[in-house]
A and B are shown apart, each in its own frame.
Chain A
Amino acid sequence: MKSQKERSLMYRAVREFFDSRGYSEIFTPTLSADLIPEPTIQNFSTLFTSPFLPSRELYLIPSPEIFMKQVMAEEKTSVYQISQCFRNSEQLGSVHNPEFTMLEYYTMGFSDKDSIRLTRELIDAVLFDYSPSFLRKDFIVLSVNEAMKKWAGCDLDRLQDRQALLEKARKLGQHPDDDEAWDDIFNRIFITYVEPSLPEDRIVVLTDYPYQIDCLAKKQDGRPYRSRWELYIAGIEVANCYEEETSPAVTAEYYRKEHERTVRERQGSGNVIPAVSESFPSLSIPPSSGVAIGLDRLLMCLTGKKDIREVLLFPMQDMIRS
Protein backbone atom coordinates (compact mmCIF):
# COMPACT_ATOMS: atom_id res chain seq x y z
CA MET A 1 0.00 0.00 0.00
CA LYS A 2 2.40 2.62 -1.32
CA SER A 3 4.93 2.55 1.51
CA GLN A 4 2.42 3.40 4.28
CA LYS A 5 4.02 0.94 6.68
CA GLU A 6 7.49 2.30 5.94
CA ARG A 7 6.23 5.86 6.43
CA SER A 8 4.76 4.96 9.80
CA LEU A 9 8.04 3.30 10.87
CA MET A 10 10.04 6.29 9.62
CA TYR A 11 7.91 8.79 11.62
CA ARG A 12 8.27 6.61 14.72
CA ALA A 13 12.07 6.44 14.30
CA VAL A 14 12.24 10.23 13.84
CA ARG A 15 10.26 10.85 17.03
CA GLU A 16 12.34 8.38 19.02
CA PHE A 17 15.53 9.99 17.70
CA PHE A 18 14.62 13.53 18.80
CA ASP A 19 12.74 12.59 21.99
CA SER A 20 15.76 10.65 23.24
CA ARG A 21 17.93 13.73 22.62
CA GLY A 22 15.74 16.06 24.65
CA TYR A 23 14.03 17.96 21.80
CA SER A 24 10.41 19.06 22.29
CA GLU A 25 7.98 17.94 19.63
CA ILE A 26 5.60 20.78 18.78
CA PHE A 27 2.38 21.00 16.79
CA THR A 28 1.76 24.32 15.03
CA PRO A 29 -0.94 25.41 12.56
CA THR A 30 -1.07 24.70 8.85
CA LEU A 31 -3.02 27.90 8.15
CA SER A 32 -1.34 31.20 8.91
CA ALA A 33 -2.36 34.86 8.78
CA ASP A 34 1.08 35.81 7.43
CA LEU A 35 4.18 34.16 5.96
CA ILE A 36 7.92 34.81 5.85
CA PRO A 37 8.46 36.57 2.51
CA GLU A 38 10.04 34.18 0.00
CA PRO A 39 9.67 35.47 -3.55
CA THR A 40 10.68 32.16 -5.13
CA ILE A 41 7.96 30.13 -3.40
CA GLN A 42 4.41 30.46 -4.74
CA ASN A 43 1.67 30.12 -2.15
CA PHE A 44 -1.85 28.83 -1.62
CA SER A 45 -4.38 31.12 0.02
CA THR A 46 -7.91 30.73 1.33
CA LEU A 47 -10.47 33.07 2.85
CA PHE A 48 -11.60 33.19 6.46
CA THR A 49 -15.23 34.33 6.61
CA SER A 50 -17.46 35.10 9.57
CA PRO A 51 -20.74 36.98 10.08
CA PHE A 52 -19.13 38.92 12.94
CA LEU A 53 -15.62 39.64 11.75
CA PRO A 54 -14.10 41.09 8.62
CA SER A 55 -13.08 38.34 6.22
CA ARG A 56 -9.38 37.75 5.90
CA GLU A 57 -6.96 35.98 3.61
CA LEU A 58 -5.09 33.05 5.19
CA TYR A 59 -2.20 31.04 3.79
CA LEU A 60 -1.24 27.39 3.79
CA ILE A 61 2.27 27.26 5.21
CA PRO A 62 5.16 26.50 2.79
CA SER A 63 7.17 25.52 5.92
CA PRO A 64 6.46 25.62 9.67
CA GLU A 65 9.47 27.96 10.19
CA ILE A 66 7.27 30.97 10.98
CA PHE A 67 5.70 29.23 13.98
CA MET A 68 8.67 27.17 15.11
CA LYS A 69 10.89 30.25 15.43
CA GLN A 70 8.26 31.95 17.60
CA VAL A 71 8.30 28.93 19.92
CA MET A 72 12.12 28.91 19.99
CA ALA A 73 12.30 32.63 20.75
CA GLU A 74 9.82 32.20 23.60
CA GLU A 75 10.92 28.86 25.10
CA LYS A 76 14.65 28.84 24.23
CA THR A 77 14.60 25.11 23.65
CA SER A 78 15.40 22.70 20.79
CA VAL A 79 12.23 21.74 18.90
CA TYR A 80 11.11 19.48 16.08
CA GLN A 81 7.95 18.97 14.08
CA ILE A 82 6.54 16.81 11.30
CA SER A 83 4.00 18.85 9.32
CA GLN A 84 2.16 19.12 6.04
CA CYS A 85 3.47 21.96 3.85
CA PHE A 86 2.19 23.52 0.64
CA ARG A 87 3.96 25.11 -2.29
CA ASN A 88 2.03 26.27 -5.29
CA SER A 89 3.63 26.05 -8.71
CA GLU A 90 3.31 24.61 -12.15
CA GLN A 91 5.73 21.89 -11.26
CA LEU A 92 4.32 18.42 -10.86
CA GLY A 93 6.65 15.57 -11.48
CA SER A 94 8.69 12.76 -10.08
CA VAL A 95 9.99 14.76 -7.09
CA HIS A 96 7.29 17.42 -6.60
CA ASN A 97 3.87 17.30 -5.00
CA PRO A 98 2.26 20.65 -4.01
CA GLU A 99 1.38 19.21 -0.60
CA PHE A 100 4.28 17.47 1.08
CA THR A 101 5.55 16.43 4.49
CA MET A 102 8.36 18.36 6.11
CA LEU A 103 10.44 17.48 9.13
CA GLU A 104 11.98 20.56 10.72
CA TYR A 105 14.34 20.53 13.70
CA TYR A 106 16.05 23.43 15.40
CA THR A 107 18.97 22.84 17.77
CA MET A 108 19.98 25.44 20.34
CA GLY A 109 23.63 26.48 20.18
CA PHE A 110 24.37 24.50 17.01
CA SER A 111 26.21 25.78 13.94
CA ASP A 112 25.13 24.59 10.50
CA LYS A 113 28.18 22.28 10.51
CA ASP A 114 26.99 20.68 13.80
CA SER A 115 23.68 19.96 12.07
CA ILE A 116 25.51 17.89 9.42
CA ARG A 117 26.64 15.44 12.11
CA LEU A 118 23.16 15.33 13.66
CA THR A 119 21.56 14.71 10.27
CA ARG A 120 23.99 11.84 9.59
CA GLU A 121 22.86 10.24 12.86
CA LEU A 122 19.20 10.88 12.00
CA ILE A 123 19.51 9.16 8.61
CA ASP A 124 21.24 6.19 10.28
CA ALA A 125 18.30 6.00 12.69
CA VAL A 126 15.62 5.83 9.96
CA LEU A 127 17.39 3.46 7.52
CA PHE A 128 15.68 0.16 6.76
CA ASP A 129 17.69 -3.06 6.49
CA TYR A 130 16.95 -3.10 2.78
CA SER A 131 17.65 0.61 2.10
CA PRO A 132 20.27 1.22 -0.63
CA SER A 133 23.67 0.56 0.96
CA PHE A 134 25.25 3.83 -0.22
CA LEU A 135 23.04 5.65 2.34
CA ARG A 136 25.27 4.18 5.06
CA LYS A 137 28.48 5.62 3.63
CA ASP A 138 29.98 8.88 4.90
CA PHE A 139 28.53 12.06 3.44
CA ILE A 140 30.57 13.81 0.78
CA VAL A 141 30.78 17.35 2.18
CA LEU A 142 32.01 20.10 -0.12
CA SER A 143 31.39 23.81 -0.45
CA VAL A 144 29.26 25.21 -3.25
CA ASN A 145 32.35 27.00 -4.56
CA GLU A 146 34.37 23.76 -4.66
CA ALA A 147 31.49 22.17 -6.60
CA MET A 148 31.25 25.16 -8.96
CA LYS A 149 35.00 25.02 -9.60
CA LYS A 150 34.95 21.28 -10.18
CA TRP A 151 31.93 20.94 -12.47
CA ALA A 152 31.42 24.39 -14.00
CA GLY A 153 34.95 25.83 -13.93
CA CYS A 154 33.64 28.84 -11.98
CA ASP A 155 35.56 30.21 -9.01
CA LEU A 156 32.93 32.26 -7.19
CA ASP A 157 35.60 34.01 -5.11
CA ARG A 158 36.65 35.66 -8.37
CA LEU A 159 33.17 36.05 -9.86
CA GLN A 160 31.52 38.28 -7.27
CA ASP A 161 30.98 40.96 -9.88
CA ARG A 162 27.64 40.43 -11.67
CA GLN A 163 29.02 41.37 -15.09
CA ALA A 164 31.91 38.91 -14.69
CA LEU A 165 29.52 36.07 -13.78
CA LEU A 166 27.22 37.00 -16.69
CA GLU A 167 30.11 36.77 -19.14
CA LYS A 168 31.22 33.45 -17.62
CA ALA A 169 27.69 32.03 -18.06
CA ARG A 170 27.66 33.11 -21.71
CA LYS A 171 31.09 31.58 -22.28
CA LEU A 172 29.67 28.32 -20.95
CA GLY A 173 26.90 28.53 -23.55
CA GLN A 174 24.01 29.86 -21.46
CA HIS A 175 21.76 32.75 -22.49
CA PRO A 176 21.02 34.92 -19.44
CA ASP A 177 19.39 38.32 -19.98
CA ASP A 178 21.62 41.40 -19.76
CA ASP A 179 19.98 42.52 -16.54
CA GLU A 180 19.73 39.11 -14.85
CA ALA A 181 20.48 39.22 -11.11
CA TRP A 182 23.64 37.56 -9.71
CA ASP A 183 21.67 34.84 -7.89
CA ASP A 184 19.70 33.88 -11.00
CA ILE A 185 22.86 33.66 -13.14
CA PHE A 186 24.45 31.55 -10.40
CA ASN A 187 21.44 29.22 -10.24
CA ARG A 188 21.40 28.88 -14.02
CA ILE A 189 25.03 27.67 -14.00
CA PHE A 190 24.51 25.58 -10.86
CA ILE A 191 21.51 23.63 -12.12
CA THR A 192 22.90 23.16 -15.62
CA TYR A 193 26.39 21.93 -14.74
CA VAL A 194 26.68 21.19 -11.03
CA GLU A 195 23.43 19.55 -9.95
CA PRO A 196 23.44 16.94 -12.76
CA SER A 197 27.10 16.10 -11.96
CA LEU A 198 26.66 15.38 -8.25
CA PRO A 199 27.62 11.78 -7.40
CA GLU A 200 24.51 9.62 -7.10
CA ASP A 201 26.11 6.79 -5.14
CA ARG A 202 26.80 8.87 -2.02
CA ILE A 203 24.88 11.41 0.05
CA VAL A 204 26.25 14.84 -0.87
CA VAL A 205 26.15 17.93 1.36
CA LEU A 206 26.89 21.27 -0.33
CA THR A 207 27.84 23.96 2.17
CA ASP A 208 28.45 27.72 2.20
CA TYR A 209 25.88 29.08 -0.25
CA PRO A 210 26.47 32.47 -1.90
CA TYR A 211 25.25 35.35 0.28
CA GLN A 212 23.53 36.81 -2.79
CA ILE A 213 20.84 34.11 -2.43
CA ASP A 214 18.95 35.99 0.23
CA CYS A 215 17.57 33.98 3.12
CA LEU A 216 17.55 33.87 6.90
CA ALA A 217 20.86 31.96 7.13
CA LYS A 218 23.71 33.87 8.76
CA LYS A 219 26.20 35.59 6.48
CA GLN A 220 29.78 34.54 7.29
CA ASP A 221 32.22 37.17 8.59
CA GLY A 222 34.36 38.58 5.79
CA ARG A 223 33.30 35.92 3.26
CA PRO A 224 30.69 36.17 0.50
CA TYR A 225 28.85 33.07 1.74
CA ARG A 226 26.10 32.12 4.14
CA SER A 227 26.17 29.34 6.75
CA ARG A 228 23.72 27.19 4.91
CA TRP A 229 23.85 23.72 3.38
CA GLU A 230 21.70 21.49 1.20
CA LEU A 231 21.75 17.71 1.20
CA TYR A 232 21.34 15.68 -1.99
CA ILE A 233 20.53 12.01 -2.26
CA ALA A 234 20.82 10.48 -5.74
CA GLY A 235 20.79 13.99 -7.20
CA ILE A 236 17.56 14.92 -5.39
CA GLU A 237 17.51 17.87 -3.00
CA VAL A 238 16.30 16.38 0.29
CA ALA A 239 17.29 18.80 3.07
CA ASN A 240 18.18 22.44 3.64
CA CYS A 241 19.92 23.84 6.72
CA TYR A 242 20.67 27.31 8.11
CA GLU A 243 22.69 28.61 10.93
CA GLU A 244 19.83 30.92 11.89
CA GLU A 245 20.02 34.68 11.61
CA THR A 246 19.64 36.11 15.12
CA SER A 247 19.81 39.85 14.45
CA PRO A 248 16.40 41.58 14.42
CA ALA A 249 17.86 44.39 12.29
CA VAL A 250 19.09 41.98 9.59
CA THR A 251 15.80 40.05 9.68
CA ALA A 252 13.79 43.28 9.39
CA GLU A 253 15.86 44.31 6.37
CA TYR A 254 15.34 40.87 4.80
CA TYR A 255 11.58 41.18 5.39
CA ARG A 256 11.45 44.63 3.80
CA LYS A 257 13.49 43.69 0.70
CA GLU A 258 11.95 40.29 0.03
CA HIS A 259 8.37 41.45 0.59
CA GLU A 260 8.96 44.32 -1.83
CA ARG A 261 10.39 41.89 -4.37
CA THR A 262 7.39 39.55 -3.93
CA VAL A 263 4.96 42.43 -4.50
CA ARG A 264 6.92 43.70 -7.51
CA GLU A 265 7.12 40.27 -9.16
CA ARG A 266 3.57 39.13 -8.45
CA GLN A 267 1.50 42.28 -8.82
CA GLY A 268 -1.00 41.80 -11.60
CA SER A 269 0.04 38.17 -12.15
CA GLY A 270 -2.83 36.71 -10.14
CA ASN A 271 -0.33 34.95 -7.85
CA VAL A 272 -0.88 35.17 -4.11
CA ILE A 273 1.02 37.96 -2.33
CA PRO A 274 1.13 36.82 1.31
CA ALA A 275 0.80 39.32 4.14
CA VAL A 276 3.88 39.70 6.36
CA SER A 277 4.00 40.15 10.12
CA GLU A 278 5.46 43.30 11.64
CA SER A 279 6.46 41.59 14.85
CA PHE A 280 8.29 38.52 13.49
CA PRO A 281 11.57 40.32 12.69
CA SER A 282 11.91 41.58 16.25
CA LEU A 283 11.81 38.07 17.81
CA SER A 284 14.92 37.25 19.79
CA ILE A 285 15.98 34.08 18.02
CA PRO A 286 18.62 32.22 20.08
CA PRO A 287 21.85 31.07 18.39
CA SER A 288 20.72 27.85 16.69
CA SER A 289 20.67 25.81 13.52
CA GLY A 290 17.52 24.58 11.76
CA VAL A 291 17.15 21.78 9.23
CA ALA A 292 14.17 21.07 6.96
CA ILE A 293 13.89 17.62 5.39
CA GLY A 294 11.37 16.64 2.75
CA LEU A 295 10.12 13.39 4.25
CA ASP A 296 8.36 12.14 1.10
CA ARG A 297 11.63 12.47 -0.80
CA LEU A 298 13.57 10.87 2.04
CA LEU A 299 11.11 7.96 2.08
CA MET A 300 11.61 7.54 -1.68
CA CYS A 301 15.37 7.31 -1.11
CA LEU A 302 15.06 4.92 1.85
CA THR A 303 12.84 2.57 -0.13
CA GLY A 304 14.65 2.95 -3.45
CA LYS A 305 11.63 4.49 -5.26
CA LYS A 306 12.14 6.76 -8.25
CA ASP A 307 8.86 8.68 -8.20
CA ILE A 308 7.25 10.58 -5.35
CA ARG A 309 3.87 9.17 -6.44
CA GLU A 310 5.08 5.75 -5.30
CA VAL A 311 5.08 6.96 -1.69
CA LEU A 312 1.84 9.01 -1.76
CA LEU A 313 -1.62 7.44 -1.56
CA PHE A 314 -3.29 10.32 -3.42
CA PRO A 315 -0.75 12.24 -5.50
CA MET A 316 -1.96 15.67 -6.65
CA GLN A 317 -1.07 14.82 -10.25
CA ASP A 318 -3.70 12.06 -10.30
CA MET A 319 -6.34 14.24 -8.60
CA ILE A 320 -5.89 17.08 -11.08
CA ARG A 321 -6.00 14.76 -14.10
CA SER A 322 -9.17 12.93 -13.16
Chain B
Amino acid sequence: MIKAGQIDKGTALLIKGQPFICIEREFVNPGKGSAFVRLKLKSPSTGQVLSETMKSQDNAEDITVEDRDIQYLYNDGTNFAFMNVETFDQIEVPMASYPDYQYFMKEGETYRATFWEDQVLDIIIPAKIVFTVAEAEEAVKGDTVQGATKYVTTETGLRVRVPIFIKQGEKIRVNTETKEYLERVNK
Protein backbone atom coordinates (compact mmCIF):
# COMPACT_ATOMS: atom_id res chain seq x y z
CA MET B 1 0.00 0.00 0.00
CA ILE B 2 1.14 3.56 -0.66
CA LYS B 3 -0.41 6.92 0.09
CA ALA B 4 -2.06 8.47 -2.94
CA GLY B 5 0.15 11.54 -2.42
CA GLN B 6 3.20 9.37 -3.19
CA ILE B 7 1.92 8.17 -6.54
CA ASP B 8 4.05 9.50 -9.37
CA LYS B 9 4.23 9.21 -13.14
CA GLY B 10 5.09 5.58 -13.87
CA THR B 11 3.72 4.15 -10.59
CA ALA B 12 1.88 0.87 -11.21
CA LEU B 13 -1.38 0.43 -9.28
CA LEU B 14 -4.04 -2.20 -8.92
CA ILE B 15 -7.58 -0.85 -9.18
CA LYS B 16 -10.40 -3.36 -8.74
CA GLY B 17 -7.94 -6.13 -9.57
CA GLN B 18 -6.78 -4.49 -12.81
CA PRO B 19 -3.28 -3.05 -13.25
CA PHE B 20 -2.93 0.58 -14.28
CA ILE B 21 0.07 2.81 -14.92
CA CYS B 22 -0.03 6.42 -13.79
CA ILE B 23 0.65 8.65 -16.81
CA GLU B 24 -0.19 12.02 -15.24
CA ARG B 25 -0.28 13.25 -11.66
CA GLU B 26 -1.32 16.65 -10.41
CA PHE B 27 -1.77 17.89 -6.84
CA VAL B 28 -5.01 19.78 -6.30
CA ASN B 29 -5.94 21.62 -3.15
CA PRO B 30 -9.41 23.02 -3.70
CA GLY B 31 -10.12 26.22 -1.75
CA LYS B 32 -11.08 25.14 1.77
CA GLY B 33 -10.87 21.47 0.78
CA SER B 34 -8.74 18.42 1.55
CA ALA B 35 -5.59 17.80 -0.49
CA PHE B 36 -6.29 15.62 -3.51
CA VAL B 37 -4.27 14.15 -6.35
CA ARG B 38 -5.76 14.09 -9.82
CA LEU B 39 -4.46 11.06 -11.71
CA LYS B 40 -4.61 9.84 -15.29
CA LEU B 41 -4.23 6.08 -15.26
CA LYS B 42 -3.75 3.91 -18.32
CA SER B 43 -4.75 0.31 -18.59
CA PRO B 44 -1.97 -1.58 -20.39
CA SER B 45 -4.36 -4.30 -21.58
CA THR B 46 -6.96 -2.06 -23.19
CA GLY B 47 -5.26 1.33 -23.58
CA GLN B 48 -8.23 2.85 -21.73
CA VAL B 49 -7.36 5.99 -19.76
CA LEU B 50 -9.09 6.63 -16.41
CA SER B 51 -9.38 9.98 -14.64
CA GLU B 52 -9.18 9.16 -10.96
CA THR B 53 -9.15 11.58 -8.05
CA MET B 54 -7.85 10.43 -4.69
CA LYS B 55 -7.29 12.14 -1.37
CA SER B 56 -3.56 12.51 -0.69
CA GLN B 57 -4.02 10.51 2.50
CA ASP B 58 -5.96 7.66 0.83
CA ASN B 59 -4.25 4.32 0.51
CA ALA B 60 -3.69 2.89 -2.93
CA GLU B 61 -2.64 -0.62 -3.84
CA ASP B 62 0.69 -0.43 -5.61
CA ILE B 63 2.18 -3.44 -7.34
CA THR B 64 5.74 -4.61 -7.72
CA VAL B 65 6.91 -4.60 -11.28
CA GLU B 66 10.09 -5.79 -12.94
CA ASP B 67 11.80 -5.01 -16.23
CA ARG B 68 12.56 -7.79 -18.70
CA ASP B 69 13.93 -7.91 -22.26
CA ILE B 70 11.53 -8.88 -25.02
CA GLN B 71 12.17 -9.36 -28.73
CA TYR B 72 9.70 -7.89 -31.20
CA LEU B 73 8.58 -10.53 -33.69
CA TYR B 74 5.70 -9.08 -35.76
CA ASN B 75 2.22 -7.62 -35.58
CA ASP B 76 -0.98 -8.96 -37.08
CA GLY B 77 -2.80 -5.62 -37.15
CA THR B 78 -4.42 -6.25 -33.76
CA ASN B 79 -1.63 -7.52 -31.52
CA PHE B 80 2.11 -7.18 -31.26
CA ALA B 81 3.90 -10.48 -30.81
CA PHE B 82 7.03 -10.55 -28.63
CA MET B 83 9.29 -13.24 -27.26
CA ASN B 84 10.69 -13.21 -23.75
CA VAL B 85 14.42 -13.61 -24.50
CA GLU B 86 15.07 -15.62 -21.33
CA THR B 87 12.18 -18.08 -21.37
CA PHE B 88 11.41 -17.97 -25.15
CA ASP B 89 7.73 -17.60 -24.20
CA GLN B 90 5.68 -15.75 -26.77
CA ILE B 91 3.71 -12.72 -25.53
CA GLU B 92 0.87 -10.88 -27.23
CA VAL B 93 0.18 -7.21 -26.51
CA PRO B 94 -2.78 -5.28 -27.97
CA MET B 95 -1.62 -2.66 -30.47
CA ALA B 96 -4.31 -0.23 -29.26
CA SER B 97 -2.42 0.16 -25.98
CA TYR B 98 0.69 1.42 -27.77
CA PRO B 99 -0.36 3.76 -30.56
CA ASP B 100 2.22 4.15 -33.36
CA TYR B 101 4.64 1.64 -31.79
CA GLN B 102 4.48 -0.37 -35.02
CA TYR B 103 6.32 2.53 -36.66
CA PHE B 104 8.98 2.71 -33.95
CA MET B 105 9.83 -0.93 -33.25
CA LYS B 106 11.86 -3.03 -35.67
CA GLU B 107 11.25 -6.72 -36.11
CA GLY B 108 13.94 -8.82 -34.43
CA GLU B 109 15.09 -6.06 -32.08
CA THR B 110 15.01 -6.32 -28.31
CA TYR B 111 13.16 -3.84 -26.08
CA ARG B 112 12.90 -3.35 -22.34
CA ALA B 113 9.41 -4.00 -20.97
CA THR B 114 7.85 -3.53 -17.54
CA PHE B 115 6.06 -6.64 -16.31
CA TRP B 116 3.60 -7.31 -13.51
CA GLU B 117 3.57 -11.07 -13.13
CA ASP B 118 3.13 -12.22 -16.75
CA GLN B 119 1.48 -9.08 -17.99
CA VAL B 120 3.29 -6.37 -19.95
CA LEU B 121 2.53 -2.96 -18.38
CA ASP B 122 4.84 -0.83 -20.46
CA ILE B 123 7.21 -1.10 -23.39
CA ILE B 124 10.12 1.28 -23.36
CA ILE B 125 11.29 2.65 -26.67
CA PRO B 126 14.28 4.99 -27.01
CA ALA B 127 13.59 8.72 -27.20
CA LYS B 128 15.56 8.87 -30.46
CA ILE B 129 15.75 6.10 -33.05
CA VAL B 130 17.77 5.78 -36.29
CA PHE B 131 15.70 4.69 -39.30
CA THR B 132 16.55 3.91 -42.90
CA VAL B 133 14.67 5.90 -45.52
CA ALA B 134 12.74 3.32 -47.55
CA GLU B 135 10.88 5.73 -49.82
CA ALA B 136 11.59 9.37 -50.56
CA GLU B 137 9.51 11.79 -52.62
CA GLU B 138 11.30 13.76 -55.30
CA ALA B 139 11.85 17.26 -54.00
CA VAL B 140 9.88 19.86 -55.94
CA LYS B 141 12.25 22.51 -57.19
CA GLY B 142 11.59 26.05 -56.05
CA ASP B 143 9.10 24.97 -53.41
CA THR B 144 10.28 26.99 -50.45
CA VAL B 145 6.86 27.50 -48.84
CA GLN B 146 7.40 24.36 -46.77
CA GLY B 147 10.86 25.55 -45.73
CA ALA B 148 12.41 23.18 -48.28
CA THR B 149 11.17 19.93 -46.77
CA LYS B 150 9.52 16.79 -48.09
CA TYR B 151 8.08 13.56 -46.73
CA VAL B 152 9.92 10.24 -46.55
CA THR B 153 8.80 6.84 -45.30
CA THR B 154 11.05 4.73 -43.10
CA GLU B 155 11.52 0.97 -43.28
CA THR B 156 8.93 0.71 -40.47
CA GLY B 157 6.36 2.76 -42.38
CA LEU B 158 6.74 6.00 -40.38
CA ARG B 159 6.16 9.16 -42.43
CA VAL B 160 8.60 11.92 -41.45
CA ARG B 161 9.11 15.42 -42.78
CA VAL B 162 12.78 15.90 -43.65
CA PRO B 163 14.98 18.42 -45.45
CA ILE B 164 15.01 17.94 -49.23
CA PHE B 165 18.61 16.64 -49.34
CA ILE B 166 17.64 13.33 -47.66
CA LYS B 167 17.67 10.46 -50.18
CA GLN B 168 16.33 6.93 -50.25
CA GLY B 169 18.62 4.49 -48.42
CA GLU B 170 20.06 7.14 -46.10
CA LYS B 171 19.75 6.95 -42.33
CA ILE B 172 17.95 9.58 -40.24
CA ARG B 173 17.51 10.08 -36.49
CA VAL B 174 13.92 10.72 -35.35
CA ASN B 175 12.44 11.93 -32.05
CA THR B 176 9.92 9.23 -31.12
CA GLU B 177 7.79 11.52 -28.99
CA THR B 178 7.22 14.21 -31.60
CA LYS B 179 7.92 12.06 -34.70
CA GLU B 180 10.19 14.86 -35.92
CA TYR B 181 13.36 14.53 -37.96
CA LEU B 182 16.45 15.40 -35.91
CA GLU B 183 19.48 14.79 -38.17
CA ARG B 184 21.05 12.74 -40.95
CA VAL B 185 23.24 9.89 -39.70
CA ASN B 186 26.32 9.41 -41.84
CA LYS B 187 27.56 6.08 -40.62
8 Å CB interface, A68-108 against B: 89-91, 93, 96
B32/A190 in contact, CB under 8 A = no
> Does B116 lie at the interface of the complex (its beta carbon under 8 Å from any beta carbon of A)?
no
Report chain A residues within 8 Å CB of B14.
none
> Does A40 lie at the interface of the complex (its beta carbon under 8 Å from any beta carbon of B)?
yes
Chain B: minimal CB distance from A233 (Å): 14
B34/A184 in contact, CB under 8 A = yes
Report chain B residues within 8 Å CB of A307.
none
Query: Which of B15, B35, B36, B53 counts the most chain A CB atoms within 10 A?
Result: B53
Contact of A40 among B34, B38, B50 (CB under 8 A): B34
A40/B29 in contact, CB under 8 A = yes
Report chain A residues within 8 Å CB of B27.
90-91, 93, 96
How many angstroms between the C-alpha atoms of A40 and B33 in the bound complex? 6
Q: In chain A, what residue has the closest Cβ to B36?
A: A191
Q: In chain A, what residue has the closest Cβ to B25?
A: A93
Report chain B residues within 8 Å CB of A191.
28, 30, 33, 36, 38, 53
8 Å CB interface, B34-53 against A: 34-36, 38, 50-53
B33/A187 in contact, CB under 8 A = yes
How many angstroms between the C-alpha atoms of A38 and B26 in the bound complex? 23
Chain B: minimal CB distance from A242 (Å): 10
Chain B: minimal CB distance from A130 (Å): 29
B52/A175 in contact, CB under 8 A = yes
A187/B52 in contact, CB under 8 A = no
Given the interface pairs A96-B27, A192-B53, the reply to whether A91 lies near B35 with Cβ below 8 Å is: yes
B5/A187 in contact, CB under 8 A = no
How many angstroms between the C-alpha atoms of A166 and B31 in the bound complex? 21
Q: In chain B, what residue has the closest Cβ to A269?
A: B57
Report chain B residues within 8 Å CB of A209.
32
Report chain B residues within 8 Å CB of A237.
30-31
How many angstroms between the C-alpha atoms of A230 and B32 in the bound complex? 11
B5/A90 in contact, CB under 8 A = yes
Main SS at interface, chain A: mixed
> Does B56 lie at the interface of the complex (its beta carbon under 8 Å from any beta carbon of A)?
yes
Q: In chain A, what residue has the closest Cβ to B6?
A: A90
> Does A159 lie at the interface of the complex (its beta carbon under 8 Å from any beta carbon of B)?
no
> Does B55 lie at the interface of the complex (its beta carbon under 8 Å from any beta carbon of A)?
yes
> Does A250 lie at the interface of the complex (its beta carbon under 8 Å from any beta carbon of B)?
no
Q: In chain A, what residue has the closest Cβ to B26?
A: A93
Contact of A183 among B33, B50, B56 (CB under 8 A): B33
Given the interface pairs A184-B55, A191-B38, the reply to whether A213 lies near B29 with Cβ below 8 Å is: no
How many angstroms between the C-alpha atoms of A214 and B33 in the bound complex? 9
How many angstroms between the C-alpha atoms of A241 and B35 in the bound complex? 20
Q: In chain B, what residue has the closest Cβ to A180?
A: B55
Report chain B residues within 8 Å CB of A174.
52-53
> Does A146 lie at the interface of the complex (its beta carbon under 8 Å from any beta carbon of B)?
no
Report chain B residues within 8 Å CB of A38.
32
Report chain A residues within 8 Å CB of B51.
173, 192
Given the interface pairs A174-B52, A188-B53, A192-B53, the reply to whether A215 lies near B29 with Cβ below 8 Å is: no
> Does A195 lie at the interface of the complex (its beta carbon under 8 Å from any beta carbon of B)?
yes
Chain A: minimal CB distance from B32 (Å): 5
Report chain A residues within 8 Å CB of B5.
90
Report chain B residues within 8 Å CB of A187.
30, 33-34, 36
8 Å CB interface, B110-157 against A: none
Q: Scan B52-85; emit 1 where CB is below 8 A from any A CB, else 0.
A: 1111101000000000000000000000000000
Report chain B residues within 8 Å CB of A195.
28, 30
Report chain A residues within 8 Å CB of B33.
40, 183-184, 187, 191, 213
- 9 intermolecular pairs with C-beta atoms under 8 Å apart: A38-B32, A40-B32, A90-B35, A91-B27, A177-B58, A188-B53, A192-B38, A192-B53, A195-B30
Interface, chain A (partner B; CB < 8 A): 38, 40, 89-91, 93, 96, 173-175, 177, 183-184, 187-188, 190-192, 195-196, 209, 213-215, 230, 237, 240
Interface, chain B (partner A; CB < 8 A): 5, 15, 26-36, 38, 50-56, 58
Q: When A and B form their complex, which 10 residue pairs have the shortest distance between CB atoms, in order from nearest?
A: A91-B27, A187-B33, A192-B53, A191-B28, A187-B30, A188-B53, A215-B32, A240-B31, A213-B32, A230-B31
